[in-house]
A = this chain, B = another copy of it.
């Protein structure tokens, strides 16, 4: 906004933070990256990856900096989810936090960084106790993810560049937490011309083998309609 209530301008002692909700996919389950909190308050609980926003730092940049520090990952598709602003949400003071969410491919994730930061993946159905209102943050991010994953080709961030349709379906089943009819699913996928079948097959999951597909970004930009 602007400068209406001038009186606040000097007094305000609100801190501004970002928290990152980082989704991964493993063992057919949607997972979340958390860090073990080694300090008070709430020491010993688990927490989202978060940090304070820097002076003269864009909010988006802050989220990316925090994510990078923790995961070593750059250029990750990351979106603002929402602001959490109850005055007492953080017991250490008035901290407003903006949540961002990202989807990363665990296999590209640098395992060294994980242990450096006491980070760990948890299936979203088996989360430990989280600090403050981080549970609410996770839930709102999951709702948003479930909404968006049906209308935008974002789930591919959780898969390798080459993936099979059974893999993709299991991913969707994991994210949406419901089972999907194979034939209906495949028909919809195959209508999207930007999902390109490769000649190569994945022979690791079955004797018959499943064709690999890839998501063609350029072709998608032409059609730009996605629906699953």
Interface residues of chain A, those whose CB is within 8 Å of chain B, are 1-5, 8-9, 11-19, 37, 39, 42, 47-48, 50-60, 62, 66, 80, 82-88, 90, 92, 94-98, 131-132
Contacts and interface: CB of A to CB of B under 8 A. Distances in A.
B48 A3 contact: no
A121 to B, nearest CB: 19
Nearest to A37: B2
A28 B88 CA distance: 43
Given A94-B56, A98-B83, A51 B5 contact: yes
Q: Across chains A and B, which 10 residue pairs bring their CB atoms closest together, nearest first?
A: A1-B50, A59-B85, A8-B52, A1-B17, A1-B19, A4-B51, A5-B51, A56-B87, A1-B97, A83-B83
Nearest to A97: B1
A129 to B, nearest CB: 14
Nearest to A17: B1
B4 A52 contact: yes
Count of chain copies: 2
A177 to B, nearest CB: 21
A87 B58 CA distance: 5
Given A5-B51, A12-B52, A82-B82, 13 more contacts: A1-B48, A1-B50, A2-B37, A3-B92, A4-B52, A8-B54, A11-B55, A12-B55, A14-B16, A55-B94, A58-B87, A59-B84, A62-B85
B59 A96 contact: yes
Contacts of A98: 83, 85, 96
Contact of A96 (B2, B53, B87): B53
Contacts of A94: 55-56
A8 B53 contact: yes
A12 B53 contact: yes
Nearest to A45: B2
A59 to B, nearest CB: 3
B60 A8 contact: no
A66 B82 CA distance: 20
Contact of A131 (B2, B37, B96): B2
Given A1-B50, A3-B92, A50-B1, A83 B86 contact: no
24 contacts: A1-B18, A1-B19, A1-B50, A1-B52, A1-B95, A2-B17, A2-B47, A2-B48, A3-B92, A4-B51, A8-B51, A12-B15, A12-B16, A14-B55, A16-B16, A53-B85, A56-B88, A58-B86, A58-B87, A59-B83, A59-B85, A60-B85, A60-B86, A85-B98
